[in-house]
Amino acid sequence: MNPRGAGSTHAVVVVEDNDDLRMTLVEILRQRGYEVREAAEAEEGLRVARDDGADLVLLDLHLAEADSFGLLRHLLALSPAPTVVVMTGYPIGAPTARFLHTVTSAVLRKPFRPELLLQIVADTLDADPSPY
Q: Average pLDDT of 71-87?
A: 96
Q: What is the pLDDT of residue 106?
A: 94
Domain count, the chain: 1
**3 is a domain residue:** no
Identify the bridge partners of residue 108 per DSSP, sorted by sequence position. Answer: 87
Asked whether residue 107 is assigned to any structural domain, the reply reads yes
Residue 41 within a domain: yes
Please write the tens of the pLDDT for every residue from 3-46: 334 444 899 999 999 999 999 999 999 999 999 999 999 999 99
pLDDT digits (tens, 9 = 90+) for 81-129: 999 999 999 888 888 888 888 899 999 999 999 999 999 999 999 874 5
* 129 found inside a domain: no
* CATH number, position 45: 3.40.50.2300
What's the confidence (pLDDT) of residue 1? Answer: 29
In a domain, 99, yes or no: yes
The residue segments making up the domain with residue 102 are 11-123
6 within some domain:
no
| pLDDT for the residue 105 | 93
Q: Is the pLDDT of residue 57 over 50?
A: yes
- Residue 96 inside a domain? The answer is yes
DSSP secondary structure string, 2-54? PPSSTT---EEEEE-S-HHHHHHHHHHHHHTT-EEEEESSHHHHHHHHHHH--
